[in-house]
Amino acid sequence: MLRFSIFSKIVLIVCFAIILPLVVSNYFIASTYQSFIDEYISGIKEIQTQFELFQKNIILQVFIVALLIFVIVAVVFFVLSRIIVRPLKKLVEATREVIKGNLNVKVSIRTRDELGVLSNSFNQMVEYLKKAFREADEERNKTMGVILNLVDGILVFDKKNCLKIINPQAEKILKVANHRDVIDKNLNELKKLDPFTSLIDLIGEKEIKQVFKKEICFDKTSVKGEKSLIFEVSTVPLLYKKDFFGNIVILHDITREKTVEKLKSEFISLSAHQLFTPSVAIKWSLDAILKEKMGKLGDKQKEFLNKTYLSSEKMVALIDDLLNITKIEGGRFLGKLTQESMEDLVRKSIQSQEKLIKEKNIELNLFVPKEPLPKIEANREDIILALKNLINNAIKYNSVGGKVTIELSRDKMEERVQIKDTGSGIPELQRSQVFSMFFRGDNAMKMGVSGTGLGLYLAKSIIEAHNGKIGFESEENKGSTFWFTLPIIANGK
């Protein structure tokens, strides 16, 4: 079947509208003029009479041509309306329905021109949109199903910090009776609702801050039967191709873990306290026997008792470390703070290791600035304990005849202590565990050196309790460099 474009149809209609009146007009003019010419030549009538008749014919022709043009224009308008305007109106009405969300609309234009192609393309687009929306709804329902069934509390905020989604667990934690009461509220509005207040104070009132595993405690009435609830709060920004469009706030219940940790700490504390007194008594008794206060000993007896005494020393040291750990975990570690000289604390710690230094023939060097270092505010015994642990490790895990270099320095805000050794170093794969409780490197255990794996954990806890920082660099078989910094007293000199 022959197919005409809209442009071709319009051209044909316009040509028809122009040519038809011209043809009719020329016909009337030709017929009128022919009669006039014939009569003029023949001389049958006078020119005046013929001129009057000519005028009448001209007027009649103009009227007929005008009427014909009007009729043709009306027909052209009607034809154009059917060919172009009506189909376009259908498309406009269908587009408005799609904008309203009605994806069941269809446009029926049964022509073989561009409008017919456009209507088919429109219908295909609507079907594609319907499929895309259906898939998007399915994905959204899956996502919402995951969020709603998570055991953690989830709150989703948009980029204007308005709450858009809250899952049932979060509703339970925050005692929200109806989620509609909090949806679309901003941070300031939510802060007025208890217990949102403490949560908003943590994550930010104006803008949501980046928070990672910060602990928060909610009222014991949050969940029936619970004495208290402790949660880890983390915020995660929502990004898509570097475009920010909101934040997720995650509330992870760690009440059980904290209860277990508390029970563990209480058990360790009780056990350590119960073991400490008899262990010290055994150590003192062995010391007295070795000093022959109870009578003379044979060589074999001394050798056997020396081994027993060393074992009792290790046990007392372990119990002492366990007691210190229970203090840290109970928040009771940092005692009275006084103004102290870091150089004095370092020298005191070195003195406590003189016996071990001589046994391993260690070359120990201490470097301090020419100008006196300013005072720090610290608990003397705690800092000495941290220094002892670091220096002891540098000596203990060093080779015989090795070197240990201790260097003190400062800047405007803090003092730095650096302890460098030429020992065994730390394996690369185990460096992330160095400050973990009970950690000992594989190479250290192969050396047969005794230890509890608590020294670095205690040192880190002490330094951080003093608002300091601690770190290290290490290379296996070449040595390690441990350092820590402590803030200088304001206006201290």
The predicted pLDDT at position 428 comes to: 85
Residue from 339, 365, 469 nearest 411 by CA: 469
The predicted pLDDT at position 296 comes to: 82
* Residue length of the chain: 493
The predicted pLDDT at position 408 comes to: 95
The predicted pLDDT at position 192 comes to: 86
Complete DSSP assignment for 317-363: HHHHHHHHHHHHHTT------EEE-HHHHHHHHHHTTHHHHHHTT-E
Q: Give the residue ranges of the chain where pLDDT is below 50.
A: 1-2, 4, 45, 222-226, 493
* 312 C-beta neighbours (distance < 10 Å), count: 19
Q: Coil, helix or strand for 78?
A: helix
Using alpha carbons only, give the angle 97, 99, 105 rounded to the nearest 5 degrees.
35
Q: How far apart are CA 91 and CA 128, in angstroms?
A: 17
The predicted pLDDT at position 2 comes to: 40
Residue from 7, 18, 2 nearest 83 by CA: 7
Complete DSSP assignment for 421-470: E-S----GGGGGGTTSTT---HHHHHTT----S-HHHHHHHHHHHTT-EE
Residue from 196, 278, 189 nearest 233 by CA: 196
Residue 84 carries which DSSP code? I
CA dist list (Å): 240 to 134, 210, 237: 22, 17, 10
Q: What does the domain layout of the chain look like in residue ranges?
A: 52-149, 150-257, 258-328, 333-487
Burial class (CB in 10 A: 0-12, 13-18, 19+), 441: buried
At 301-324, the pLDDT tens digits run 888 888 888 888 878 877 887 777
The predicted pLDDT at position 357 comes to: 92
The predicted pLDDT at position 223 comes to: 45
The predicted pLDDT at position 402 comes to: 92
Using the Cα atoms of residue 59, residue 61, residue 63 and residue 66 in order, give the sign of their dihedral: negative
CATH topology assigned to domain 333-487: Heat Shock Protein 90 (3.30.565)
Q: How far apart are CA 78 and CA 98, in angstroms?
A: 29
The predicted pLDDT at position 224 comes to: 46
| AA letter at 337 | L
Q: How far apart are CA 389 and CA 150, in angstroms?
A: 44
The predicted pLDDT at position 225 comes to: 47
| AA letter at 53 | L
Q: How far apart are CA 305 and CA 237, in angstroms?
A: 63
Q: What is the pTM of this model?
A: 0.54
The predicted pLDDT at position 482 comes to: 95
The predicted pLDDT at position 73 comes to: 67
**Element containing residue 110 per DSSP (H, E):** none
Residue with tokens 């504390």: 269
Question: Is the domain covering 150-257 a CATH 3.30.450.20 domain?
Answer: yes
* 59 C-beta neighbours (distance < 10 Å), count: 10
The predicted pLDDT at position 418 comes to: 95
Q: How far apart are CA 209 and CA 214, in angstroms?
A: 12
The predicted pLDDT at position 222 comes to: 43
Residue 153 carries which DSSP code? E
Cβ-defined contacts of 367-373 (< 8 Å, 24+): 367/405, 367/406, 367/407, 367/408, 368/343, 368/408, 369/408, 369/409, 369/410, 372/343, 373/341, 373/342, 373/343, 373/408, 373/410, 373/415
Written as six digits, the tokens of 359 are 């046994």
Residue 211 carries which DSSP code? -
Written as six digits, the tokens of 257 are 């873990």
Overall CATH class of domain 258-328: mainly alpha
